[in-house]
Structure 1
Amino acid sequence: MGSMTDSTSQVPAEDSAPASMAERVEGRSRRPDSDAFREFMGSGWGPRDASLPEREAVAGFLPARAAAAGEPFPGERLVVPAGTYKVRNNDCTYRFRAYSAFAHLSGLGAEKEPDSVLVLEPRADGPHEAVLFFKPRASRTSQEFYADARYGEFWVGARPSLDEVSAATGLRCEHIDTLRDALAKDAGQVGLRVVRGVDEQVERMVNEVRSEAGLADGEDARGADEEFEERLSEIRLRKDPFEIGELTRAVEVTRAGFDDILRALPRAVGHRRGERVIEGAFGAVAREEGNGLGYDTIAAAGDHANTLHWIDNDGPVHEGDLVLVDAGVEVDSLYTADITRTLPVSGRFTEVQARVYQAVLDACEAALARANEPGTRFRDVHDAAMRVIAARLEEWGLLPVSAEEALSPAGQQHRRWMPHGTSHHLGLDVHDCAQARREMYQDALLEPGMCFTIEPGLYFRADDMMVPEEYRGIGVRIEDDVVVGDDGRVVRLSESIPRTIADVEAWIASAQGR
């Protein structure tokens, strides 16, 4: 039906002045404005449930996250907006999804809470305290209750109260209307940093307070603000037990989505846009069992698999094709899986497809084995996979130089057929912790709690005259999600999702009742 607007306001007089653009949008509504209507709308409602929600599992981890985020910034007030709605078209917005650092520090998932702000308040006798500022539900005697399409209960359902969110999260909660006063308290004696680019109004408010207090603001404060954003990214490099549990759940639901893809493959073959059939099968599970997709699904059949970010998904699926599916469910806590499987549409790999697939699988295994060696750095995982890829390309006679030469910094010819990285961190973002410094990410030693992907591939485009014709149009990627355990061992969270040639073929047969 789309987003509605209130359709009950009075029609303006014909001789009134021309309406502004904003007024024209609002002019579609015809809401009565009489005292009698307002009184009638505010009366006759039953009592609300006065019970408070139970404390959520994530609540016990929030104080440690706040302490870690604020540790480098004693005596400074740190501001993390949730973000706001983004316009899709005209007066329709996309579903709200909070800025990831806000979700991490507040514990709020799903579509909670737009236009909110989390403030890390400095304390002289301990770590920062996380204080959540948001707009609670209004009284049913207020005009907001029935007339406000952004917050009104008639439009978007009952918003939580301050006490309800505090009970669920363990955080101190305050009305968003008090935010400016809270930011201005002792400003000058207390520093102020904000995450930029998330909420323009909050950013503007922070800069006004900084300017009035004689603090650096605007571009003069950019370095300090970005240092804070960097910190928020780096504290998520190592996941706590709650996060690992949510990632495990995301992988489990993603497996269910792939099961439905296999059942839909026969229908995809007969559809003019079979890739959309695959995308839709997975998307239904993502929405039914989680918050939705962690990112746009790649459902790439045949040569489309050689376009790394193929998300149009508008092509046919033919018997004999491979279809590369890169998909992940984002669960309600906003943690996402990221899994890729390359599937033979007919249920069986051809000899050439199997040759390419096995090479990629061997690269996966080499990367995991390297991750389990003591003293491994994040970048070493990629290097281990590339050694296998280069060796196979040399064996098949595709490299213009030896594998050893290709692997040298001055070579890299093998990257023609494997142009992307092998791993990235995973969590609230599919490419998690992207603002972290290189020494904390690529150059860092693997440590317990790190969750990341292993995803080598081989891509032979249909128009690649550097490879024999039998390889052209074949694209293979295999991607698993892994975690470093407390004992330092790296294990696949996605172990239950078939990946060997024999297991993939058996998986398809079982799903389709063959």
Structure 2
Amino acid sequence: MTEADGQRGTNGEEQDTAEAEATGAAGDKPVKQRKNGLYPAVSDELAAVMKSGWADTERRGLEPIPQARHTAARRAAVSARFPGERIVVPAGNLRRRSNDTDYPFRAATEYAHLTGDQTQDAVLVLEPLAEGGHEATAYLLPRSDRENGEFWLHGQGELWVGRRNSLAEAEQLLGLPCRDVRTVTDVLREATGPVRVVRGHNAGVEAALADKVTAERDAELTVFLSELRLVKDDFEIAELERACASTARGFEDVVKVLDRAEATSERYIEGTFFLRARVEGNDVGYGSICASGPHATTLHWVRNDGPVRSGDLLLLDAGVETRHLYTADVTRTLPVSGRFTPLQRKIYDAVHAAQEAGIAAVKPGAAYRDFHDAAQRVLAEHLVAWGLLEGTVERVLELGLQRRWTLHGTGHMLGIDVHDCAHARIEAYVDCTLEPGMVLTVEPGLYFQADDVTVPEEYRGIGVRIEDDILVTAEGHRNLSAALPRASAEVESWMAALRG
């Protein structure tokens, strides 16, 4: 997925605080619960019946989640960076989609990275200890209360949305103390000493800390947590390998059904890839770009409602997000018919050559910008050779003239976010030196808009991007998405084999 030059992302809009208290209580008065605008009364007898007759389902002796050892190390790094300060990291709340329906919940990156937990409304608090260091506590919603009827009357109760872990179960899984999140705002209001909070995920938590925090200090925390993800640990690398493997299978799925996409639209491609993402992972890591024909010249074409025609190119930019939220980010540009036309092949091969140069520049000790510069040079050389740009390649690069058709940066960091480490300082990211464990995309492209009268008519409406996920190793690099072919002849052979 492309990223604008120098762009490293922003927080989304502030989210509403989810209602944490249970609604309804069995007692002297009937319990009422809103449903589609109606408030049916619950009799005392029914409330009493619903309290009892339930088996003990508490799970004991649970094994910690796979990343528990790694999340402890990450929290230790935060503790060392902010000694004596209270650190507050919310998971976020549900966001309203329309009327009374919500978007599927996805935990805030900072929270998921430090805990491995993905539950809504949760808050991680690192309490400074007098003897040094911090005690980490996850504040979570406990299991639905069967005494007050919340488990069957409340819209977020167990019988409505499924069973939550008990706090005791969560402690076993996460490897840290867990408390009821409905107490967290009181705890934070009473807190003394310096506090930092990750903003933009929980308005209620931020309100409780309003007189204790500053925007500048909180921004420093967000920057540090972003930079903490620059070098991936073994768990993260394994997750990205898994995401790339699933993504490759998703691309194979798409190639097998291109005839059906021709009979419908780009949405058939989107739906086909999404099925693989949901079966083998959590979701897609970002909105899939299924851009056929001239739509391939729109960098983030996610409407995916256009026709798929034989003779056109399909630019598919998609990635599976694993169940632990790590995402691949891969692009292939495929001839819908299975064969490139001579002009399509010429443009494709130029982009492939640029990507080869970019990937070769990824190695420990290299400047982060080197892979971009290497890829842009190759594209500029081709544009000059084709007569689309005048003068020397050096002049073209100095003035950035190639960017009319290359448009975007050649890659970005990748991990638990598709544009990972988005709040890192420029000197720690764009101006950094590559280290083993960093994972980045290399994704040059050429885009000739349908209305671009500066190029020959036959070029117009052709867009090509090739993208792979590259791990920096001690010896150089490893292409995590190498299972998918890249050279034009290999792409044709691969497609022919899949389509029989």
Per the alignment, residue 195 of structure 1 pairs with 198
Per the alignment, residue 125 of structure 2 pairs with 119
Per the alignment, residue 338 of structure 2 pairs with 347
Contact 2:34 2:40 (C-alpha < 8 Å) held by counterparts: no
Match of 2:273 among 255, 268, 282: 282
- Asked if residue 264 in structure 1 is aligned to residue 264 in structure 2, the reply is no
- Asked if residue 383 in structure 1 is aligned to residue 370 in structure 2, the reply is no
Contact 2:83 2:132 (C-alpha < 8 Å) held by counterparts: no
Amino acid at match of 1:76: E
3-state SS of paired residue (2:257)? helix
Per the alignment, residue 145 of structure 2 pairs with 139
Per the alignment, residue 367 of structure 1 pairs with 358
Amino acid at match of 1:48: T
CA distance in structure 2 between the aligned counterparts of 1:511 and 1:488, rounded to whole angstroms:
34
Match of 1:74 among 80, 83, 93: 83
Residue pairs, 1:139-158, within 5 angstroms: 139-150=145-156, 152-158=157-163
CA distance in structure 1 between the aligned counterparts of 2:59 and 2:461, rounded to whole angstroms:
62
Shift of 1:472: 1.4
Shift of 1:467: 1.1
3-state SS of paired residue (2:78)? helix
CA distance in structure 2 between the aligned counterparts of 1:41 and 1:280, rounded to whole angstroms:
41
Amino acid at match of 2:47: R
- Asked if residue 176 in structure 1 is aligned to residue 181 in structure 2, the reply is yes
Residue pairs, 1:429-448, within 5 angstroms: 429-448=417-436
Gap change, CA 1:466 and 1:86, over 3 Å in 2: same
CA distance in structure 1 between the aligned counterparts of 2:36 and 2:252, rounded to whole angstroms:
48
Per the alignment, residue 97 of structure 2 pairs with 88
- Asked if residue 104 in structure 1 is aligned to residue 113 in structure 2, the reply is yes
- Asked if residue 36 in structure 1 is aligned to residue 45 in structure 2, the reply is yes
Contact 2:33 2:39 (C-alpha < 8 Å) held by counterparts: no
TM-score (norm 2): 0.91
3-state SS of paired residue (2:403)? helix
Per the alignment, residue 413 of structure 1 pairs with 401
CA distance in structure 2 between the aligned counterparts of 1:125 and 1:439, rounded to whole angstroms:
34
Shift of 1:402: 2.1
Shift of 1:49: 4.3
Contact 2:239 2:326 (C-alpha < 8 Å) held by counterparts: yes
Contact 2:355 2:375 (C-alpha < 8 Å) held by counterparts: yes
Shift of 1:453: 0.3
Per the alignment, residue 207 of structure 2 pairs with 204
TM-score (norm 1): 0.89
- Asked if residue 475 in structure 1 is aligned to residue 480 in structure 2, the reply is no
CA distance in structure 2 between the aligned counterparts of 1:251 and 1:123, rounded to whole angstroms:
41
Gap change, CA 1:49 and 1:120, over 3 Å in 2: closer
Contact 2:365 2:435 (C-alpha < 8 Å) held by counterparts: no
CA distance in structure 1 between the aligned counterparts of 2:180 and 2:201, rounded to whole angstroms:
20
Contact 2:33 2:40 (C-alpha < 8 Å) held by counterparts: no
Amino acid at match of 2:139: F
Match of 2:491 among 479, 487, 504: 504
3-state SS of paired residue (1:53)? coil
Amino acid at match of 1:59: A
Count of residue pairs brought into register by the alignment? 470
3-state SS of paired residue (1:352)? helix
CA distance in structure 1 between the aligned counterparts of 2:204 and 2:334, rounded to whole angstroms:
47
* Per-residue Cα deviation, 1:141-184 (whole angstroms, up to 9, x for no partner): 3311110112x111011110111111111111111133234335
| CA RMSD in angstroms, aligned pairs only | 1.7
CA distance in structure 1 between the aligned counterparts of 2:346 and 2:446, rounded to whole angstroms:
11
3-state SS of paired residue (2:267)? helix
CA distance in structure 1 between the aligned counterparts of 2:70 and 2:134, rounded to whole angstroms:
14
Unaligned runs of 5+ residues in structure 2 are 1-23, 25-31
Identity, in percent, stands at 50
Per the alignment, residue 412 of structure 2 pairs with 424
Higher relative contact order, structure no. (Cα contacts within 8 Å, ≥ 6 residues apart)? 2
